[in-house]
Amino acid sequence: MSATSPSRPENGEPAGDSTISLAARHLTKRYDKRAVVDNVSLDVQQGEIVGLLGPNGAGKTTTFHMIVGLTRPNEGRILLGEEDITRLPMYKRARQGIGYLAQETSVFRELTVEDNLHAPLEFQSISDEERTARVESLIDEFGLERVRSSKGYSLAGGERRRTEIARALANKPRFFLLDEPFAGVDPIAVEDIQDIVADLQERDIGVLITDHNVHET
């Protein structure tokens, strides 16, 4: 498993005036004395895209789980700017701007696309008008108008992935971790997702992405 060099906007610098980094320092995770992640370090700045590449079983997903708070490392630290967030639960990391898209399907199958996008906003202290405006903006931006009333279980691979990404962006994260986002989607949808990832960079969002196919990433 290896981290690729970060991609930055054309001016060579992250887009914002005051950016922070998300960093992993010497992460190690063992199960039954077997190290599935061994001494991994990486950094991603806001406005950068960093790829974490390696074959299946290399520990990419476990590394992501440690960064987002699903799994605690045996050794190492997670830093958001200067703050050590290694022991923070996942929901507190999300509140601090760390978004996550799992490799497995995470769309709410029995909810419509529109309701999927509303779901993460229900717990935010924003007005109904702002909540509705944010959902409408995401539907427009991700080309979901045609399927806005469709249930999650009926979506094709590309539609499902766009819905999942839009939902993860509803909370306006500063960093977005995408675990194998090209898995299970057709070649046209792969190009769509690549365009979405490039757009995230332009928004000053730091993107950390895993894949086993260097050509897609």
Q: What is the pLDDT of residues 132-178, one digit of tens each?
A: 999 999 999 999 999 999 999 999 988 998 999 999 999 999 999 99
All structural domains of the chain, each given as residue ranges with its CATH number in brackets, are: 2-9+20-211 (3.40.50.300)
pLDDT band at 9 (very low <50, low <70, confident <90, very high): low
**Nearest residue to 166 (alpha-carbon basis) of 192, 144, 145:** 144
| CA nearest to 65, candidates 55, 53, 78 | 78
In angstroms, rounded to a whole number, what is the distance separating the alpha carbons of residues 177 and 61?
A: 10
Q: Would you state the pLDDT for residue 1?
A: 65
Q: What is the pLDDT of residues 24-36, one digit of tens each?
A: 999 999 999 899 9
Could you read off the pLDDT of 46-56 as tens digits, one per residue? 999 999 988 88
- The pLDDT value given to residue 189: 79
86 vs 1, 67, 91, 122, 169, CA distance in Å? 22, 8, 13, 27, 23
Give how far the C-alpha of residue 156 lies from the chain's centroid of Cα atoms, to the nearest Å. Answer: 20
Non-local (6+) Cβ contacts of 166 within 8 A are 117, 138, 139, 141, 142, 144
- Could you read off the pLDDT of 54-101 as tens digits, one per residue? 888 889 999 999 999 999 999 999 999 999 999 999 999 999 999 999
**Which residues have a Cβ under 8 Å from the Cβ of 24 and sit 6 or more positions away?**
40, 41, 42, 43, 63, 66, 67, 76, 77, 78, 79
Neighbours of 18 (CB within 10 A): 6
pLDDT at 215 over 70: no
Predicted structure pTM score? 0.84
The amino acid occupying position 118 is H
Calculate the average pLDDT of the chain. Answer: 88
